[in-house]
Structure formats: structure tokens, C-alpha cells
Amino acid sequence: MQRLYRKRIVLGVGGGIAAYKSAELVRRLRDQGAEVRVVMTRGGSEFITPLTMQALSGNPVHMDLLDPAAEAAMGHIELAKWADLVLIAPATADLIARLAQGIANDLLTTVVLATDASVAIAPAMNQAMWRDPATQANTRLLEERGMRMFGPASGSQACGDVGFGRMLEADELAQRAADCFRRESLTGRHVLITAGPTQENIDPVRYITNHSSGKMGFALAEAAVEAGARVTLITGPVNLPTPDRVTRIDVVSARDMLAACEAAIPCDLFIASAAVADYRPEVVAPHKLKKDPSNGDGLLLQMVRNPDILATIAGRPDRPFSVGFAAETEHLLDYAARKLKDKNLDLIVANDVANPSIGFNSEENACSVIDRALHETFFAQTSKGKIARQLITFIADRLNQV
């Protein structure tokens, strides 16, 4: 169930008695590491209080489509973009009907229309309402559009009837939510990923580095595991937890990283997302450098070039399918295309680190992927986790064509 770790789930709560189960569902999702934001309909808030859901989710509950404070920042659009999964539990017959017709007359239905995330629905209603031809037609229509239907289960109902219409229990819903992130496009593949910055020592207390946080590389490692791969993650100094089922190797310098990469080969896919220092001081001082009056106000460091990890791995006789990253502040696509050719890569991911909303240390990214034919595929700005899953799907498709 660790597939839910760091996933962003919008939980929609419709107006049915099964809403009491939604509280336990929030706990189960958070137990597995998911971040949950709750959107309630007015009917849902009659069965369970927003305060309860806020306490359990750790986030404010969203209810009003026309909340002036939230909509000043286009709150419904932000929620739609934020989500990795929209899970509606319970979904009443009325809510299902409105979704089927594309009606957006409250916050929850508007978020569903605006999101590009997966949407899952857990029906909960009287057995006769579930069997009604209109409800059956509506659910079929939603499934044809790609929405997942979780349940319903059969059993006794609050009204005293017995039959299909009960909402699934929280444990099963959490499991099915986790299954939404299961991908098998890299089953049996060994994926080697580099992440984070490298550090090049000047003396025992100083070093040269950059602003890379490692978040993109770690998100790629998680997405590759979801896709069924065996993942080796070689990372420079970062403060991030190791993704579940990932073999992590910590390194410091560019030379350390190259040695670790070569030791991890053979692999099927190499994704070099690390921001490797191009140069290092030629000589590392054995003691802390002191201010030297004879040098005036300056300090001269003689720099030498570091080995090119990406070109070295992509140039091997047993080269894996090789994907590079180009983090640029200008002429993004031109520089990325040149790097693709010069380093003999199969694909290169180009992102504009001059844009603070998608640059180093940010939570979101946007990028373009360029292939050997110089075709560009653009991925719009969203969370790094979502971008990582989109990239892994794209890369795996190209790899599987080789």
C-alpha cells in the first residue's frame, strides 16, 4: 500500500448516511502516507461535520464553489490541479447523475470537470435506487469516460433493505485507491536514476554545489517503482526520505556518483536527473583556507573539469536507454537539443530553472521531452509527483519500442 505515499487525494463526500465511513477512510489514506484534502457537498455536511473531516485530514475542508477567499486564487482550479486522484465516497445517485451530465453546480462537481487526475467513485444508496435503469445508465457512462467505480457492496442498509448499494469499507477503498497508482510498464526492468546535487570540496569545511533539492529524481524513482521496475537511486546530499522499495546509494562528489553508476550497471534504463557539478577545485586544501593579505580581497581557485557521467554511461558498449535532463536559464530547447546530440542520448528532459515556480526546490515542474528526431512533447505545470508519473509512462513507452 506504499503506493499511496505522498500521493495527493481529493476526497469528495456526498450527502448520504455512508458519509460516516468517510472519516475512517481519511484515516486509512493518511496511514498509508497520502495527503488528503476533503471537498464536501452541502448534503455531506449534514451527515458528518466539516470540523471532523478537518481534524482527521489535517487540512481545511472545502465546501463552497463561490468562496471569495478561495476563489481569489481560483481555488477550484487549484484543487483540480493539486490532485493525483479524486475519490468520491460516498457518491449518491444524485451526485452520479450530475457527474454523468457534466453539471458543475457545486465545488465537488466543478473540481471533477476541471481535473486531469484519475477519478474514482464509491456508490452508496438504497438498493432500489442502485438498480434503477437511470442510475445504471449513468454509472456505465462514467465508466466509459474512464472513471473507476469502487463497488457498491451488497448487504443490509440503513433503511432496512438488503441488496447492492452499500459503500465499500474504508480498508477496501484505500486499497483500491492505491491500485490506481499501479503501473506495470517497467516490469522486470532495472532502472538507474541519479538525483540531487553533487558537492566538490574546496577545503575540509567549504564546498561548491548548486540548489538542486533532489525532489524530481526521487519522484521519478517512486514512479518507476509503481511501474514495476527494480530501482537504484544514486543521490547526492539531500534531505529526503528513501522511497519505498528503492535501493538508495548516497554519494557526495561527481566522481563518487560516476563510480556508483558504473557499479550499478547493467541496467535497462538510465535517467540522469542529478545536477552534477561540471568543475571541481584542482587541489583540495588539507586545512581550512585562511584569509591571505597577500591575495588582496580575492581568492583564486584553479578548477578542473569533472567527468561527464551522462556521456560516459550513454557511451558504453552496453549502454542502457539513456535519458538526460537539461536545466537551463535561457535558450532552453536549443541547449537541450545540443546536449541530446553531444551525449548520445535517447531522450532529454528540458526544464526552465529560471522560472521560480518550477525551478530548484519548487514543488511543481513543467518540462519538454525531446527525442532523437528533435520532436518535442510538452508536459504542463503540475506537481513533481504527477510530472514524474507522466514522464515514466512516456519514457517506458519509448523504451519498450526499442
* Burial bucket for residue 346 (CB in 10 Å: 0-12, 13-18, 19+): buried
Indicate if 180 belongs to the active site.
Answer: no
Handedness of CA 378, 380, 381, 385 (dihedral sign): negative
Reference 172, options 155, 158, 159; nearest CA is 155
Catalytic option among 159, 261, 267, 367? 159
Cβ atoms within 10 A of the Cβ of 145, count?
Answer: 11
The C-alpha atoms of residue 189 and residue 271 are separated, in whole angstroms, by 13
The C-alpha atoms of residue 400 and residue 396 are separated, in whole angstroms, by 6
Give the list of residues 6+ apart from residue 120 with CB closer than 8 angstroms, or none: 85, 86, 87, 88, 147, 148, 149, 150, 176, 177, 180
The C-alpha atoms of residue 223 and residue 182 are separated, in whole angstroms, by 9
Give the list of residues 6+ apart from residue 295 with CB closer than 8 angstroms, or none: none
Q: Are strands 364-371 and 269-272 parallel, antiparallel or unpaired?
A: unpaired
Q: Euclidean distance between the first and final Cα of the chain, in Å? A: 32
Q: Collapse the DSSP code of 247 into the 3-class scheme (helix H, G, I; strand E, B; otherwise coil) and give the result.
A: strand
Cα 267 to chain centroid, rounded: 23
Phi, psi of 48 (to 5 degrees): -145, 140
Handedness of CA 89, 94, 95, 96 (dihedral sign): positive
For the annotated catalytic residues, the residue numbers are 159
